[in-house]
């Protein structure tokens, strides 16, 4: 029989595979709101070259959205990203 995994379990397991920089990026977005990649790199203390890889992983999971405003790429936390952070906080607390 195939086991079932809830979305919450899936997100937690997927999050465990993300690089440590991913949590810093997510925390910066939840604390400071939408921002361009340059500001996000500074606030999350993630090198710009690494940030692009982290953003693509978070985008693929649906945790972060990236939009274009002029020449800037604006990163924002999705609703799923907010729920993911709540799950991680709950797991760490519990």
What is the percent of the chain where pLDDT is above 90? 67
Please report, for the domain that includes residue 20, its CATH number: 1.10.10.10
Tally the domains of the chain.
1
Res 3: pLDDT: 64
Residue 21 lies in a domain: yes
| More confidently predicted of 12 and 49 | 49
pTM score of the predicted model: 0.87
Sheet hosting strand 72-77, strand order edge to edge: 35-36, 72-77, 64-69
Res 13: pLDDT: 86
Q: How far is residue 93's CA from residue 69's CA, in Å, rounded to a whole number?
A: 38
Res 67: pLDDT: 95
pLDDT tens digits for 52-81? 999 999 999 999 999 998 988 999 999 999
Residue 2 lies in a domain: no
Residue 58 lies in a domain: yes
Q: List the domain range (segments joined by +) for residue 60.
A: 7-93
Residue 82 lies in a domain: yes
């Amino acid at each position: 029989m195939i086991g079932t995994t809830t979305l919450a379990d899936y997100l937690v397991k997927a999050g465990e595979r993300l690089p440590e920089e991913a949590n810093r990026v997510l925390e910066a977005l939840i604390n400071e709101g939408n921002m361009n990649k340059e500001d996000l790199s500074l606030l999350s203390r993630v090198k710009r070259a690494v940030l692009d890889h982290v953003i693509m992983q978070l985008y693929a999971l649906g945790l972060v959205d990236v939009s274009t405003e002029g020449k800037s790429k604006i990163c924002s936390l999705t609703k799923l990203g907010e729920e993911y952070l709540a799950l991680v906080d709950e797991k760490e607390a519990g």
